[in-house]
Structure 1
Amino acid sequence: MNNIARIFRDDCRRLFANVVSVIIAAGLVVMPSIFAWYNVIACWNVFDNTGNLTVAVANADEGYQSDLVPLRVNVGEQVVSALRANDQIDWVITTEDDAVDGARSGRYYAAVVIPPEFSRDMLTFYAEDSEHAKIIYYANEKKSAIAPKITDRGADTVSYQVNEVFAETLSEVALGVAESFSRLADEGNLDGRVADVADHARSLADSAERASSVLGLYSSLAQTARDLVDGSAALAASARAGIDGASDAAGQGIAAARTAANALRSSGAGLSDALAASSAAFDAAAGSVDGVFDAMSGSTATSAAHLRERAQALDAQVGAYRDLAAHLRELAAGAPEAEQAALEHAAQGMDAVADLVVSMQGNLRSAADKLEAGDAAAQADREAARQQAAEARDRIDALKADFDEHLGPELDQLAADSATLADGLETALGKLDAAGGELAASAGSAGESLDAASAKIDEAAAGLAGAASQLREMADAVDAALAAGDPQALRDVLNADAQALSSALAAPVAVERVAVFPAENFGSAMAPLYTTLALFIGSLLILVVVKPTVSARDQADLRDPKPRQLFLGRFGVMALLSLAQTTLMGLGNLFFLQVQAAHPWLLMLCFWTAGLVFTFLIYALVAAFANLGKAMAVLLLIVQVTGCGGSFPLQLLPGFVQALSPWLPATHVVNAMRAAMMGTYGTDYWVQMGQLMLFVVPAALIGLVLRRPLARFMAWYVEQVESSKLVG
């Protein structure tokens, strides 16, 4: 810590060691502020001077006079008159050739040409074959990048003036028509054109009535559609009920399908196991019979009793085979036709085995009777019983082999198909339920929309019918005035309709603009960009003037200096110069330029923090990479000019600039300055300041960690550069 403080004290003493160093230090402090203030003042109220932009206006409009109204109207002349009173742009009234040539040569920033047919297109907008009125606009985009955007606003002004003059012209034409007809009435010339007015009025009334009738048909159609929708809603409700019933039935079907699948799986597995056990049981039965006959040397009565026990034990097997045959026939009754024959064949095999077992029981009981009677023919019954057991076992083995090869896999496939059917039923059930809900909702929504449409159509039809009635009343009044030869009555009719036309056109619409975080002037709006760039340039100038490393002679005066102590000690004088730069710039913005500042202390804190972060970042780059670090800082400055979002909205810039912007420190400085100047929203200021401080972390890694591994390479690089004796 003592080494850091000593380096800082020595650097401050050298900073003011002589007049030249003092002048250099003062220049470092003042130059960034001059850059910022010059640019902010230059664009302080730049859009207040748009009156210096010359835009040529050429009126070639020939005017228009209708067949009905003997009045020539020139909308172009009225537009030119309105533009003469507009001082937002320097309007130069000239000829069409001069306007176009001046825009091409650069004498005018833009040119507006009103074509000859302009008034005709404007005043015949209601005709079927009318064309949209056009104004030709020439913009010289070569002369300036910003001027065309401003003159485009001038073109919008012309369009606004045209629309305003058009409304005024229609009113004036209507009043002129009334005045002309009044004058004609005073002169007694009431035939011809006045009668044409009545005929036109009746024709318009007929058209209005036809339109009203058509709208009435549409209204009836909408009501009919509403009835259809109501019917659809009822049908949807019925369908929903049907879907609910289908859901219950489907649920039962799903349960039945799953039960059938489980039964098929258990039946197949149980039948295979039972056949295997039966085969083993018949082997055991044959062995038992042989054992009994071999033991006949003993008690004859005991041997006969054993034979009857064996015969009695076979009753259970007979019942089991009969049950298996019955179960197979039950499965065959509910199985597909392809499996029914195989299941019936297996059932018949079970019945045949059961019959063999019954015959075997008879032979065993006969042998027992003969033993008790002492008949030597009992050995023949023994052989018959043993053959029957062997035959039953062979049949059982054949049935099991046939079952494992054909019927078993078919039963497994049938069980799998049943399970798949159950899953499909569940999915279909869910879709049916969703479809029922959508049907009901769609029907209700369509009904509401049709009701609203029908009401609007009825309202429009009523309006057209009223207009037709008024037109007929006017035509009748004109005819009555003509028939009576009363000029005053005709004048009253026409004046009344002219007033109605004026009141119909007098419907101005105003836009109320409410600025959110308003900027007092354009200079304040641009101050964050120019100030941020000035801060970065000032930090770069500090590293151009101040050496980033402590000399070997100064290190000799220190006590065991560590690299981090040398790094942080030299940064002290740079931080002092940065604070001087930012303090002067901030105070100048507040009191000299008087930029907008909703939170002055937050603005000063942003200046100080931004200057220190910029200086530390550039210092770390230069300390680690020497002159290459200065080049990196210049590259970073270039990227930040547009990427920080200080001028154009980031959304207008290319995608790679938008992606790069959050990783630039200047972006967060500009955003924090805007919050301090125009007003904060929540914690937006502190969030931007926190993100700015995060750039200290990579800068510290570069300056304190990566610098030592790069030291050998940078020493070689500096040696190679200095060996050129040109680049330093």
Structure 2
Amino acid sequence: MRNIWRIFVADMKRLFSNTVCIIITLGLVLIPSIFSWYNVIACWNAFDNTGNLMVAVANCDEGYKSDIVPIDMNIGDKVVSALRANDQIHWVFTSEEDAVEGAKSGHYYAAVVIPESFSRDMLTFYSDNMKHAQIIYYSNEKKSAVAPKITDQGADTVSYQVNEVFAETMAEVALGVAQSISQYADENDVQGDLGRISQRVREVGSGLTRTKEVLALYSGLVDSAQGIVAGSVDLLTHAQGAVAEAKGPIDKSVSSASNMVDVLKGAAGNLSGAMESTANDMDAVAAAADAAFDAAVNDVDAGGDDLKTLAGHVGDASARYRDLATQLGGFRDQLPEEQRPALDAAVAAMNNAADQMAAAGEGLSSAGDQLKTDATNVNASRDQVKGQIADAKSSLAQAKDDYEQNMKPQLQTLADQTAAAVERLQTEDGRLAAAVDELSASADSAKSTMADAAESIEAACAKLETTAGELAQLADQVDSALASGDMEQLQKILGGDAKTLAQALAAPVSIDRQALYPVENFGSAMAPFYTTLGLFIGSLLLLVTVKPALSRSQEEGLTNPKPRQLFLGRFCTVAMLSLAQTTVMGLGNIFFLDVQHVHPLLLMLVFWGAGLVFTAIIYSLVATFANLGKAIAVLLLIVQVTGCGGSFPLQILPGFVQVLSPWLPATHVVNAMRAAMMGTTGMDFWYSMGMLALFLIPAAILGLVLRRPLSKFMHWYVEKVESSGLVA
């Protein structure tokens, strides 16, 4: 650690040792920020300047005057008037020849030509051989990569303006239609045209009726879905009650099972200890019996009393041992069927040992009585008692062995299985309650959504039905007026409902746009991309300028330096420079550029983390592969320009780029930076930062583990490269 600190301190002094070093250091810190800021400022409000794109408009429309409507109408002129008021694009109104040639030469980015028959096609929509009105659009896609996409939007604007002007023109012409009916009331072809108009209106009304019927089917489907969801809510409500009722018995079962585990483990240990203690007691009994017989040589009564007392102790031990056998037998019903024979054998062995102990106790008591009445057969009594004690001890040893080998492992297994069952019961109890709560919340939300959808569909059905009825009524009134020949009534009908007819045919629809995580400007939208590139370029510049390896003179001032100390010591230097780069860039983005920053602290954390990870990756590559590592870092930069998803959505890029993207560190930097700038969703910020941090692992393995094994290859590589006399 001391060597690492010495290297870092010495490097910091060298960075500011003279004026040239200070200038280089400042350049390393500022150049990445200049790169990033320049590109972000350049595209800050790029789409606010679309008014500089010149699009030519050539109006060749000759206009149209029908027999029904004796009014000269030129829809093309009205479109031109509307476009003059539109400043989103620089519209240049010129001739058709100039518009097309200008688009070819690149003088105009695009050209819009309104053909001669435009008004005729627009105003003969009711005829049998009707044609859709068309506008010819020329786009010079060689001029720019992005401009054609913008001018395409301009073409959409023209289309919208045409539709809007057409609807307005239909309303303006309504009075002229009424006047023409009065003037040409006696002409048969007028009535024929009006009949075709009536039929067209009736067809539109029928189409609206069919649309209403389809929506009604959807409404029925939603109603059925509501019933299913409502049933699910009731079912889940009952399930919640059942879970609540079952929780009490489950808790009691868990408590009882936990107590059973403690009893099993305690019983297994107690039985083993009791058997061991009883076996040791029999050795003490044998020794005490020998001492009592020896005392009887001098005092028969005292020896007899000692044997009688000893007999009482042995009898008590026999009773306790029999109680242990009874306690062990109490587990019989709790064991599986296949384990019960082993338990029965162990209990029988323990009862046999208890019988042998009882026999030894009776032998001791009889020997004590015999000594008091007849002391001539002391040795025979001694031998008989010692034999009985030996038999009891042998039975105890056999019972203990049977228990230790057969029953104790099974009792321990039973205790472990019971403990596992208790744990599973507790886990499943919690999962069951959580699952029921989650499903209940989801069902309630679905029920509310279904209700809103059903209400919206019903309202749309009602509106469509009303409109279809009005159109059918209008057609019936026109037919009735034509049949009766009442021209005043026909004028009143068409004059009063011309607007309804125009609205039904134009069908204007407005869009309510609501941005999620709105971006204030295009510069902020592109800032994550250009900033990430700037961070990587800055880290690459550091390793182009700063040598990863120490010179021999620098190593001489260290105490027995290890390779990892040399590696980490110089890395601390480049890491400090990286922190300086990212701090300047981050603060500049926030306070100088004023990019969007919903979470400024998280944004700074992204800058620092990204800079350190990029620096660690490039530092390990250059420290291990020298100039070859720099080439690999440049290749990684090239791949990340497109693969990070900073400019184009990954979904529209080739499949291999989509596969490669998650394995690039810049991808996760861009995602984390967007979350910090525009707003987080759940844990998306921390997930991206965690994925970014994982790239430190291969960098550390390469720099600290693989660098030494690869050193021979690098010596060979450097030798071959330098032998060329051209490449360093």
TM range (shorter): 0.5 to 0.7
Q: In the alignment, does 2:50 pair up with 1:50?
A: yes
| Partner of residue 580, structure 1 | 580
1:382-432 deviation per Cα after TM superposition (whole angstroms, max 9, x unaligned): xxxxxxxxxxxxxxxxxxxxxxxxxxxxxxxxxxxxxxxxxxxxxxxxxxx
Q: Deviation of residue 712 (structure 1)? A: 1.5
| Partner of residue 10, structure 1 | 10
TM-aligned CA distance change 1:157 to 1:537, over 3 Å: same
Q: Deviation of residue 478 (structure 1)? A: 5.4
Q: What letter is aligned with 1:475?
A: L
Contact 1:668 1:692 in 2 (8 A): yes
Q: Deviation of residue 716 (structure 1)? A: 2.3
Contact 2:675 2:685 in 1 (8 A): yes
| Partner of residue 476, structure 2 | 469
| Partner of residue 514, structure 1 | 514
The 5-angstrom pairing of residues 275-354 of structure 1 reads none
| Partner of residue 162, structure 1 | 162
Q: Deviation of residue 121 (structure 1)? A: 1.2
Q: Deviation of residue 663 (structure 1)? A: 0.3
Contact 2:167 2:502 in 1 (8 A): no
Q: Structure 1 length normalisation: TM-score?
A: 0.62
Q: What letter is aligned with 2:178?
A: A
| Partner of residue 127, structure 1 | 127
Quote the Cα distance in structure 2 between the aligned partners of 1:24 and 1:77: 64
TM-aligned CA distance change 1:507 to 1:568, over 3 Å: same
Quote the Cα distance in structure 2 between the aligned partners of 1:697 and 1:213: 69
Quote the Cα distance in structure 2 between the aligned partners of 1:210 and 1:79: 29
1:659-688 deviation per Cα after TM superposition (whole angstroms, max 9, x unaligned): 000000000000000000000000000000
Quote the Cα distance in structure 2 between the aligned partners of 1:555 and 1:480: 110
TM-aligned CA distance change 1:457 to 1:170, over 3 Å: closer
Deviates more, 1:173-182 or 1:659-668: 173-182
Quote the Cα distance in structure 1 between the aligned partners of 2:194 and 2:509: 30
What SS does structure 1 have at the residue aligned with 2:486?
Answer: helix
TM-aligned CA distance change 1:548 to 1:125, over 3 Å: same
Quote the Cα distance in structure 1 between the aligned partners of 2:203 and 2:613: 77
1:524-545 deviation per Cα after TM superposition (whole angstroms, max 9, x unaligned): 0000000000000000000011
Q: Deviation of residue 720 (structure 1)? A: 2.8
| Partner of residue 662, structure 1 | 662
Identity of aligned residues (%): 66
Contact 2:477 2:493 in 1 (8 A): no
Q: What letter is aligned with 1:33?
A: S
Contact 2:68 2:193 in 1 (8 A): no
Contact 1:198 1:474 in 2 (8 A): no
TM-aligned CA distance change 1:201 to 1:145, over 3 Å: closer
| Partner of residue 622, structure 2 | 622
What SS does structure 2 have at the residue aligned with 1:92?
Answer: strand
Quote the Cα distance in structure 1 between the aligned partners of 2:201 and 2:725: 95
The 5-angstrom pairing of residues 210-289 of structure 1 reads none
Deviates more, 1:493-502 or 1:63-72: 493-502
The 5-angstrom pairing of residues 42-191 of structure 1 reads 42-180=42-180, 184=183, 191=185
| Partner of residue 677, structure 1 | 677
Quote the Cα distance in structure 2 between the aligned partners of 1:210 and 1:138: 36
1:509-538 deviation per Cα after TM superposition (whole angstroms, max 9, x unaligned): 221111011100000000000000000000
TM-aligned CA distance change 1:641 to 1:616, over 3 Å: same
Q: Deviation of residue 70 (structure 1)? A: 1.4
The 5-angstrom pairing of residues 441-456 of structure 1 reads none
| Partner of residue 642, structure 2 | 642
Quote the Cα distance in structure 2 between the aligned partners of 1:30 and 1:206: 74
Contact 2:109 2:140 in 1 (8 A): yes
Quote the Cα distance in structure 1 between the aligned partners of 2:466 and 2:493: 27
TM-aligned CA distance change 1:58 to 1:7, over 3 Å: same
TM-aligned CA distance change 1:145 to 1:455, over 3 Å: closer
Contact 2:43 2:522 in 1 (8 A): yes
Q: What letter is aligned with 2:118?
A: F
Quote the Cα distance in structure 2 between the aligned partners of 1:133 and 1:211: 19
Q: Deviation of residue 467 (structure 1)? A: 3.7
TM-aligned CA distance change 1:630 to 1:718, over 3 Å: same
Q: Structure 2 length normalisation: TM-score?
A: 0.62
1:122-175 deviation per Cα after TM superposition (whole angstroms, max 9, x unaligned): 111222211221111111111110000000000000110111111112222222
Q: Deviation of residue 717 (structure 1)? A: 1.8
The 5-angstrom pairing of residues 416-565 of structure 1 reads 466-475=473-482, 479=486, 481=488, 492=492, 495-498=495-498, 501=501, 508-565=508-565
1:439-491 deviation per Cα after TM superposition (whole angstroms, max 9, x unaligned): xxxxxxxxxxxxx9x9999999976763443113433675375xxxxxxx886
Contact 1:56 1:94 in 2 (8 A): yes
Quote the Cα distance in structure 1 between the aligned partners of 2:136 and 2:712: 69
TM-aligned CA distance change 1:652 to 1:67, over 3 Å: same
Q: In the alignment, does 2:39 pair up with 1:39?
A: yes
Contact 2:59 2:114 in 1 (8 A): yes
| Partner of residue 22, structure 2 | 22
Quote the Cα distance in structure 2 between the aligned partners of 1:143 and 1:213: 48
TM-aligned CA distance change 1:462 to 1:174, over 3 Å: closer
Quote the Cα distance in structure 1 between the aligned partners of 2:164 and 2:202: 32
Q: Deviation of residue 495 (structure 1)? A: 3.3
Quote the Cα distance in structure 1 between the aligned partners of 2:584 and 2:685: 22
TM-aligned CA distance change 1:490 to 1:570, over 3 Å: closer
Contact 1:112 1:138 in 2 (8 A): yes
The partner residue of 1:192 within 186, 191, 194 is: 186
Aligned residues: 480
TM-aligned CA distance change 1:497 to 1:631, over 3 Å: closer
Quote the Cα distance in structure 2 between the aligned partners of 1:564 and 1:162: 73
Q: What letter is aligned with 1:622?
A: V
Quote the Cα distance in structure 2 between the aligned partners of 1:669 and 1:168: 51
Quote the Cα distance in structure 2 between the aligned partners of 1:210 and 1:88: 38
Q: Deviation of residue 609 (structure 1)? A: 0.5
Structure number with larger C-alpha Rg = 1
Return 5+ residue gaps in structure 2 as ranges. 213-457
Quote the Cα distance in structure 1 between the aligned partners of 2:161 and 2:13: 69
What SS does structure 2 have at the residue aligned with 1:608?
Answer: helix
